[in-house]
A and B are shown apart, each in its own frame.
Chain A
Amino acid sequence: MQQEEQLTERDLEVRAILHDAASPPAEPSFRERLKRDFAEGTLQERAFRPAPARRPKHMIRWAIGLAAAAAVVLAIGVLNEAPAWTALPSAGSGHLIVDGVAVPVSDTEELTRRIHPGARVRLDCVRDFDLVSSGVLAMQLSPGTEIVMPRPPGRWLGRASRASVAAGYLRLTTGKRFHGARLTIDAPDATVQVTGTTLAVIAEPKLTCICVLEGNVRVSYREAEGEKDSKEEEAEEREAEKSGPMVVTSGHRCTFLHGSAHPYMDEIRDTERPKLADLRDRMRSVMD
């Protein structure tokens, strides 16, 4: 046999020993009794029964592997999660309307519980209101501001997030954990891409203004919803799209007049600069 040819001399010696050793015979009485019972069909079952078959080892390995993978995924999911939005105490009186429910701005606990990514929030108060996702993002809403809350970008996964400003002033500053993430803010006339900076997005009835205190943001024209375009406007938009997003650098603002795809650039508003600087400085302790 070809298979046997591969055996070593020692293997052959072992085989010879195995075959030299004859099995001791069964007890003759046992043999006779068993033969009689077998022939007559009177055999009895053994005293002990085999235990149920174990699950094959490879199935156990698979189950352990899957459980480990699930645990890793769960751990990554938990560690990846950015801190939830927290409402900071406000001195003013009034309400924050979260998904249509008015909650007093003084009730930060209830606000923190209700505010979630994707929630539509409107500030009905005479003072500014701060929200923070510790180390990632801090936002300030001015009275009358209405926004859709972004999801704070995750540590490794889900690094892109989106928010929208329907009306009012939204100021925001990014923290260390935001580094490498991207937040897109849709305003009535512009789309702003934030990759780490301190800025304000101002949505007024006749214009959208983006004021950048630090860093750079990319801004592109955004057609207002439900707006009918004339041919001229369409051509304008196409031209604007061709030119791509504009970069607004530190200390500047970019203003889109309502319905126009051509913004104008200027120095940051004097009234905005101290407010943005104040937000950045106040949040530094929780953002760094």
Chain B
Amino acid sequence: MTIRRVLPEGPATGSLESASGGPTDSTQDTPSNVLDLEGVRRRDPEALAAFFERYFDRVYGLVYRMLGNHHAAEDATQDVFLKLHRAAHTLDPSRDPGPWVTTIAFNVCRDVWRSGASKLSRRSTPIDDPTRGDGLLPQSAENPERDVLRGERERLVQHAIGSLKEPLRAVIVLREYQGLSYEEIAELEKITPIAARKRYSRALAELGKQLEGVL
């Protein structure tokens, strides 16, 4: 029997609406949001490819925000999908795999933070990192000036997030870019929802100071 589950798209970074809540139930059974989770369990290449398309941006966005550069984000994303592949048979087709994916991605980030390589990389900035604002920013032919400004703002935002201590950074990323509730963050971080909320509040305050020039 093949179970097909209607799933929402991952949260699109850049919209407050998407960040205000977690995955929502969708009644639109379009081909783009139907995932063959049984196929994923069987590690069917087509199902895995569709699963990848569904969650890649969500995973990459999370690890990039958490780790602060593309090199680390690529390594971590690869690790996340390796873990997802290995654990595919444990996937419960009756449930939304979103939280499962987020948990694995978050744990990988935490492992990276704990690793010596991460500590080393924090002391240096990769020379080919587009967030350095060295001309590698995404450009569009229509409004290059706007793209440059947006890129500059993105760089400042990422710098501000990266300057937060890891517990605060995690709460901000999970809440603002993954749309998790305080309860879900608390479960991931193994803290109380009240503590998650306090961290979020502190993180916003620190970001406010960091982004003084932008506000």
Contacts and interface: CB of A to CB of B under 8 A. Distances in A.
A57 B56 CA distance: 33
B15 interface: yes
A46 B78 contact: yes
B85 interface: yes
Contacts of B187: none
A154 to B, nearest CB: 45
Given A17-B211, A17-B214, A47 B75 contact: yes
A67 interface: no
Nearest to A16: B16
B20 A43 contact: no
Interface residues of A, number: 42
Contacts of B153: 17, 20-21
Interface string A239-275: 0000000000000000000000000000000000000
B70 A24 contact: yes
Nearest to A49: B115
A51 B60 contact: no
A10 B65 contact: no
Interface in B1-34: 13-16, 19-20
Main secondary structure of the interface of B (DSSP, over half): helix
Question: Chain B interface residue count: which class?
Answer: 35 or more
Contacts of A39: 45-46, 48-49, 52
A25 B79 contact: no
A48 B74 CA distance: 13
B85 A30 contact: no
B211 A34 contact: no
A56 B31 CA distance: 45
A43 B85 contact: yes
A45 B82 contact: yes
A121 B103 CA distance: 73
A54 B111 CA distance: 10
B60 A26 contact: yes
Interface of A: 1, 3-4, 7, 10-11, 13-27, 30-31, 34-35, 37-41, 43-54
22 contacts: A10-B208, A14-B211, A19-B14, A21-B14, A22-B14, A22-B150, A23-B13, A23-B154, A24-B70, A24-B138, A25-B138, A31-B60, A34-B81, A35-B52, A35-B53, A38-B48, A38-B85, A39-B52, A41-B48, A45-B79, A50-B114, A54-B114
Interface of B: 13-16, 19-20, 43, 45-46, 48-49, 52-53, 56-57, 60-61, 64-65, 70, 73-79, 81-82, 84-85, 111-112, 114-117, 130-131, 137-138, 150-151, 153-154, 156-158, 161, 172, 176-177, 182, 197, 201, 204-205, 207-208, 211, 214-215
